[in-house]
Chain A
Amino acid sequence: MERRATFRTPLLPWLLVLPQLLIIFVFFYWPTGEAFVWAFTLEQPWGGGRAWVGWQNFAEIFSSVHYWHSVRISIVYALGTSLLAIGSALLLALFVDREVKGSRHWRIALIWPYAIAAPAIGMIFRFVFDPRAGVFSMLNQMMPGLWDPSLNGTHAMLMLILAGAWQLVAYNFVFFLAGLQSIPRGLTEAAAMDGAGPLRRMRDIQVPLLAPTFFFLLVINLTDSFTNSFGLVHIMTDGGPARSTDLMVFKIYADGFKGLDYSGAAAQSIILMLLVVLLTFVQFRFVERKMHYR
């Protein structure tokens, strides 16, 4: 089907897309272009002149122990958050799909967390996980020193992963529920006739048929964990203790705006951007094409 609008003047279509283009240009292409320039120059902290340094910024980053540490924990955070969020969302969606009592209301309640901004979530979880005043302080009452994310890096990372996953669950849930509801009812009924109980049906029929949704969400969640974790880190741990939650996206901010190393931060953001581009490429190239039955 031909879906082309015809305009009387060639100028009109350009005028129509101009506002959108302008916004994208000002808030994306321009800063990205600027970051590219900065990544290959040495920018003075207080402005006024730059020196071309070629790949030197990148060389410095790649030889930095701290940077590689940041990459490692970012991967841990991304995988942990994504898998936890996907797993819990799948479980919740399976329950709701089975029309568990009250699922109509749960469905709406389960979607809401996605609408909450990361800093707000971070704030809430800071209270929840606070070793002295939060819900988790109970652990310390039972065995002092059992839980302290402000001193223990593993605890801090765990706390971030839980908060990050909580935020993503709602998004994943919507997709899984839609996926489950698009599985023809006849298939689960056929499996029931074939002798499979509810759990067996989930394992053999529903979950395998959700594979496309699963891979789609994995890529989206990984991307999201790499880029959107800043709000949580900033509010909850500030990268600490002892750089244990110094995720890539937070390190860019810390190096750039606290350490005033604009060029290094720009180079790091270019690397992060390439990583996201790669994930998006994987998403379009492999996931979208290959993971469809029929």
Chain B
Amino acid sequence: MAAIAFRKARKTYGANTAIHDVDLELPEGAFVVILGPSGCGKSTLLRMIAGLEEISGGDLLIHGTRMNEREPKDRGCAMVFQNYALYPHMTVAENIAYPLKVAGLPKAERQARVAEVAAALELSALLERRPGQLSGGQRQRVAMGRAMVRRPKVFLYDEPLSNLDAKLRVQMRLELRRLHEQLGATSVLVTHDQQEAMTLADHMVVMHAGRVEQVGSPREIYERPATLFVAGFIGAPAMNLLPAELVQGGRAVRIAGGPVLPLPGRARHGSAAVTLGIRPEHVQPGEIAAQVEMVEDLGSSALVHARLGEGLAMAFHTAAEAAPARGGRAGLHLPAERLHLFDPVTGRRLALERETQPALDYAPL
């Protein structure tokens, strides 16, 4: 059973629609990351799960029960906020114990639970401090502790790492993942940072303009982006997207005014115009001529910005030592297995029919 499910869930603010009929199932025990650019509705979706935003239409199910009208406290979710939202007038211990205090647990049990959580998060020495006396990373852990202490079935994280510096962020990322394994609950994290998403997620949801673009494992999404938006959003530097047309009955593709590339299968599409995508890291040295415009030395490798015949921009990675000179020429090879095809109008990925029986090619018409 899915831990959390949306059925045609919608959120509107007056005439504006923030979330358009989302259908989504988040598997139990998974680390789910909702990824998208700012303003795509990802935080709204999370707050709908939490009960902090009303759901305008459709259903929200948590562990199979409809939760639309339930109070936040009755949904069995705990949340870690972007700015941690620690109570400034309470000590660390009081902050962590607050959910238990509200729930009416006796003091001795509260203290035991707080001590347990504090030990797990290495906060034991800080229990008497106020949030104002803590560093960013410590505050983050207190917020985690306050969420953990209730032993919820679902953890919600609203961009929890975005206020930390780069080094601490990597460290806390590992810690989040470790805690997730330990607690065995379902975690839902919202972020705009794709690296964070790729490293944390078992299950990734990419959102754009209030819609879910694609759902899948990070690898699936990286290897087979379902839409042009996902193709351009996932991966750094971004995928090269070039206008192209299908030729040879969909068995090959021609880059506008440039070379013809064979496809590993047959693309069926109403019109010949397509968008061809290839990731910079998949471009190899080869036969297609390109004019080098700029070279970014990244240390371990170099990122080359070049232009193909008709002036189409193309970025690619090479080994740092093998990088061509600025203004020079380079030869590129675009491996057939690494090409992505999209419908330029709808933005959807075009599937290739695998022609497992080459004999078909010779079949009589």
A241 to B66, CA, bound (A): 67
| Chain A window 38-63, contacts with chain B (Cβ cutoff 8 Å), 1 for yes, 0 for no | 00000000000000000000000000
List chain A residues, Cβ under 8 A from B89: 208-209, 211, 293
Question: What's the minimum C-beta distance from A212 to chain B, rounded to whole angstroms?
Answer: 10
Q: A190-B79, A294-B132 are in contact. Are A195 and B99 (CB under 8 A)?
A: yes
Judged by a CB distance under 8 angstroms, whether B85 is at the interface is yes
A197 to B74, CA, bound (A): 11
Q: Is the CB of B83 within 8 A of A293?
A: no
A85 to B146, CA, bound (A): 36
Judged by a CB distance under 8 angstroms, whether A34 is at the interface is no
A186 to B48, CA, bound (A): 15
Instruction: Specify the chain B residue showing the minimal Cβ separation from A200.
Output: B102
Q: A189-B52, A193-B72, A194-B146 are in contact. Are A209 and B88 (CB under 8 A)?
A: yes
Judged by a CB distance under 8 angstroms, whether A91 is at the interface is no
How many interface residues does chain A have, given as a range? 20 to 34
Question: What's the minimum C-beta distance from B67 to chain A, rounded to whole angstroms?
Answer: 14
**Contact of B83 (CB < 8 Å), options: A186, A193, A294:** A186
| Chain B window 35-54, contacts with chain A (Cβ cutoff 8 Å), 1 for yes, 0 for no | 00000000000000011100
Question: What's the minimum C-beta distance from B148 to chain A, rounded to whole angstroms?
Answer: 12
Question: What's the minimum C-beta distance from B289 to chain A, rounded to whole angstroms?
Answer: 55
A200 to B88, CA, bound (A): 17
Q: Is the CB of B132 within 8 A of A184?
A: no
Question: What's the minimum C-beta distance from B268 to chain A, rounded to whole angstroms?
Answer: 49
A203 to B242, CA, bound (A): 60
Q: Is the CB of A192 within 8 A of B72?
A: yes
| Chain B window 99-114, contacts with chain A (Cβ cutoff 8 Å), 1 for yes, 0 for no | 1001100000000000
Judged by a CB distance under 8 angstroms, whether A273 is at the interface is no
List chain B residues, Cβ under 8 A from A294: 88, 130-132
Q: A208-B89, A294-B88 are in contact. Are A194 and B52 (CB under 8 A)?
A: no
Q: A209-B88, A293-B130 are in contact. Are A193 and B102 (CB under 8 A)?
A: no
Would you list the 8 A-B pairs with minimal beta carbon distance, nearest first? Answer: A186-B85, A195-B73, A190-B85, A294-B132, A194-B99, A293-B88, A195-B102, A193-B79
Give 8 A-B pairs besides A190-B79, A194-B102 with Cβ atoms closer than 8 angstroms.
A184-B83, A191-B87, A193-B50, A193-B72, A196-B98, A204-B102, A293-B88, A293-B130
